[in-house]
């Protein structure tokens, strides 16, 4: 098994609820604090800082945009937010009320694409704030995480429809049902020739090719509740186990490696490849964890 060193970095806002994390264009980690309605920034090796949003925004997923800023979903405010690397925030209201935006990712068209969990829609927002919404062909689907595939499409999880969806630039949607019932997929990330996703209710990692072929990899602990997933520079998928207090990876042969986090009950959520080449995950206990696999 690969040796992994894990270091936890305590944040100044211990009750803020670190949720999602990404690498910004400025060589820093950016993360959401969903409970305290703040956006945090950490340069590896430095001290964390955070920027306040208006109250009760519920920032969830955050991603680096094509314009040199960070973009995030305001789940409770039903808005899309933009924050510059010096902390200036702009918010954009969405056409559909109470839509619950969650996932967000840059697309190949220079816009940001996002999911609306409560409205069965996928949205697109340009960097100057123009919004288009596309209805999905499924009711009560709870579209969740979204990412750009290497095939030019945007791929997303349908948490309550038990499927993976793909939408093209014109809004055409394809739905791929999962083999395992009630698997409740959440996180999704693009690999070189396929997409990787997690099944939080089934305790499995999934892989879907661009033509829709699905493979599932059961975790040793099926109650681990895998939540988020990313792919490192070598193409290896890494995921968090929210219920198992671990991070894990999937080898090319499909074998699973798991690593315990130092603090019990830390509840890892988002995970991303950091600017320093390590994996970073946001912990509900008010910390970030740096996961450094030595090869």
What is the DSSP track for 264-283?
Answer: TT--EEEEEE-TTSSEEEEE
CA distances from 255 to 107, 236, 252 (A): 31, 12, 7
Decide if 269 is catalytic: yes
Residue 227, annotated as binding a ligand = yes
The answer to whether the CB of 51 falls within 8 A of the CB of 42 is no
Contacts for 108 with CB less than 8 Å, ≥ 6 apart: 148, 152, 169
Catalytic residue, candidates 35, 51, 176, 269: 269
Tokens of 213: 């072929």
Q: Please report how many Cα atoms fall inside a 13 Å half-sphere around the Cα of residue 93, on the Cβ side.
A: 4
Indicate the annotated binding residues.
227, 267, 284
Q: Which residues are catalytic?
A: 269
């Amino acid at each position: 098994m690969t040796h992994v060193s894990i270091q936890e970095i305590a944040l100044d806002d211990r009750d803020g609820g670190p949720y999602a994390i990404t690498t910004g264009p400025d060589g820093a980690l950016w993360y959401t604090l969903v409970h305290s309605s703040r956006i945090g920034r950490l340069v590896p090796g430095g001290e964390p800082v955070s920027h306040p949003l208006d109250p009760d925004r519920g920032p969830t997923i955050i991603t680096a945009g094509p314009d040199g800023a960070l973009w995030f979903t305001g789940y409770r405010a039903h808005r899309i937010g933009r924050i510059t690397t010096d902390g200036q925030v702009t918010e954009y209201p969405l056409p559909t009320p109470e839509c619950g935006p969650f996932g967000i990712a840059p697309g190949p068209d220079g816009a940001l694409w996002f999911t609306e969990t409560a409205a069965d829609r996928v949205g697109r927002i340009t960097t100057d704030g123009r919004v288009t919404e596309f209805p999905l062909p499924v009711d009560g689907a709870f579209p969740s995480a979204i990412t750009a595939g290497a095939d030019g499409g945007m791929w997303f999880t349908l948490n309550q429809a038990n499927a993976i969806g793909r939408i093209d630039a014109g809004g055409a949607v394809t739905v791929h049902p999962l083999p395992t019932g009630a698997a409740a997929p959440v996180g999704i990330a693009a690999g070189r020739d396929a997409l990787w996703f997690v099944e939080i209710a089934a305790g499995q990692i999934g892989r879907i090719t661009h033509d829709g072929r699905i493979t599932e990899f059961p975790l040793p602990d099926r109650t681990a509740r895998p939540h988020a997933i990313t792919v490192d520079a070598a193409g290896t998928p890494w995921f968090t186990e929210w219920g198992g207090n671990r991070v894990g990876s999937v080898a090319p042969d499909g074998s699973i490696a798991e690593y315990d986090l130092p603090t019990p009950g830390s509840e890892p959520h988002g995970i991303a490849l950091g600017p320093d080449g390590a994996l970073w995950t946001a912990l509900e206990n008010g910390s970030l964890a740096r996961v450094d696999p030595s090869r």
